[in-house]
Amino acid sequence: MTPLTRAEALTIMRQEISRIAPDADVDAVPTDAPFREVLELDSLDFLNLVEVLIERTGARIDEEDYASLRTLSGSADFLVARTADRAAAP
């Protein structure tokens, strides 16, 4: 699988948050805002999001990585880096 671009990673984040919280206006969330708080996602919603991101991107996301997934921008950067790492691994 090829590494994600930042635009692809942002699109995936918005799509998957919209699936988990269909009433949430993800497009209105600034990319540097803490989306969990803005959209009032609970812990279960967040864990569901992490699971879907792992399945969809193939990126490894551990509990210690959750802090990198606070904002849409940070999440996109994390997914880009993690998919690049995966693509570079033998």
> Could you report the per-residue pLDDT of 22-61, keeping only the tens digit for each?
999 999 999 999 999 999 999 999 999 999 999 999 999 9
Where do the domains of the chain lie? 6-88
**Domain 6-88 of CATH type 1.10.1200.10:** yes
pLDDT of 88 over the 80 cut: no
Long-range residue pairs from 49-57, CB within 8 A, at least 24 positions apart, any chain: 49/16, 49/17, 49/20, 52/16, 52/19, 52/20, 53/12, 53/13, 53/16, 53/79, 56/12, 56/16, 57/1, 57/4, 57/9, 57/12, 57/82, 57/83
pTM equals 0.91
